[in-house]
Structure 1
Amino acid sequence: MKKLLLSLAALLPVLASAVPCLPVAALVERDSRYEEALRVGDVAFLKTLLADDYVWVHSLGSQIESRASLLARLEKPVVYKSRTTSDVHGHTQGDTTVLRGVSTTEQWNADGVTWRANRYQFMRTYVNVDGQCKLLAVQTMNLK
């Protein structure tokens, strides 16, 4: 019996890595924190959220950012009026969850009074890394 329990205990890390890091509803909430961190340049939060191999493919593949390049860019952020998401759906397989939805950004114009809005379809891939929920990949597509 003791041998069986030790064998099962040895499997716990393997079993834990095969489950999603968070239920979809909690992950959607964490993803909202990601949007807010991008809005205000919260580098400290992003350092805890982004996987080491994080990659963001922007609209039309015109720009690809790594974890390091995104964090460097956000050291001097362009503060947006708002960043919100809507119509978010989660798709889970094993330890990976993909969120897809629409992100709306409102960015201040040079006059500081008016703003413009952009809408993007997004896919964000979250993975369980040693029991922590990490954002691995993002792809955004501009919606007209």
Structure 2
Amino acid sequence: MKKLLFSLLVALPLISSAGPCLPASALIERDSQYEEALRVGDVPFLQSLLADEYVWVHSLGSQIETRSGLLARLEKPVVYKARSTSDVHVHVQGDTSVVRGVSTTEQWNADGTTWRTNRYQFMRTYVNAGGQCKLLSVQTMNLK
């Protein structure tokens, strides 16, 4: 009996980390918080969300940004007028979840009164890392 209990105690952390980090609806909410954190430059939130190995491949692969690079850039954020997502889907395989959809950003022009709108297709990969939901990677593509 003691051996069985010991085996269960040893296996419990493995069992608890074998599934997705959050249910789909909660992950979509967390992903919306990520979008808002990017919009306003919420570095503390991003420090807790981003995996150490985080990487963001921007449109056309012209820029690849690491966790430290993104956090440094957001120390002096460009505050967007708005950021929103639509057509969001979650795909789960084991302890990995991929969130995909369309992100729309409205960025102020230099005059401070008008703005421009950009739309991006995105894929974001979340992993269950030791019982915590971490954002591991992002890829965005500009939509015309």
Common fold by TM > 0.5: yes
Match of 1:48 in 2: 48
2:120 maps to amino acid: Y
Match of 1:18 in 2: 18
Distance across 2 between alignment mates of 1:78 and 1:56: 17
Distance across 1 between alignment mates of 2:64 and 2:82: 23
For 2:78, what is the secondary structure of its paired residue? Answer: coil
Cα shift readout 1:62-121 (whole Å, capped 9, x = no counterpart): 000000000000000000000100000000001000000000000001111111000000
1:11 maps to amino acid: A
Cα shift readout 1:4-36 (whole Å, capped 9, x = no counterpart): 121011101111121111001000000000000
* Aligned-residue offset at 1:2: 2.2
For 1:13, what is the secondary structure of its paired residue? Answer: helix
| Count of residues in correspondence between the two structures | 144
2:27 maps to amino acid: L
Structural RMSD (CA): 0.6
* Aligned-residue offset at 1:131: 0.5
Match of 1:84 in 2: 84
For 2:80, what is the secondary structure of its paired residue? Answer: coil
Cα shift readout 1:44-74 (whole Å, capped 9, x = no counterpart): 0000000000000000000000000000000
Normalised by the length of structure 1, the TM-score is: 0.99
* Aligned-residue offset at 1:125: 0.1
Distance across 1 between alignment mates of 2:16 and 2:139: 27
For 1:119, what is the secondary structure of its paired residue? Answer: strand
Match of 1:57 in 2: 57
Match of 1:114 in 2: 114
Distance across 1 between alignment mates of 2:68 and 2:91: 27
Distance across 1 between alignment mates of 2:141 and 2:120: 5
1:125 maps to amino acid: T
Distance across 1 between alignment mates of 2:129 and 2:91: 18
For 2:69, what is the secondary structure of its paired residue? Answer: helix
For 1:102, what is the secondary structure of its paired residue? Answer: strand
Structure 1 runs of 4+ off > 3 angstroms?
none
Distance across 1 between alignment mates of 2:111 and 2:105: 17
| Equivalence map 1:26-37=2 (5 Å) | 26-37=26-37
Normalised by the length of structure 2, the TM-score is: 0.99
What percentage of residue pairs aligned between the two structures are identical?
A: 79
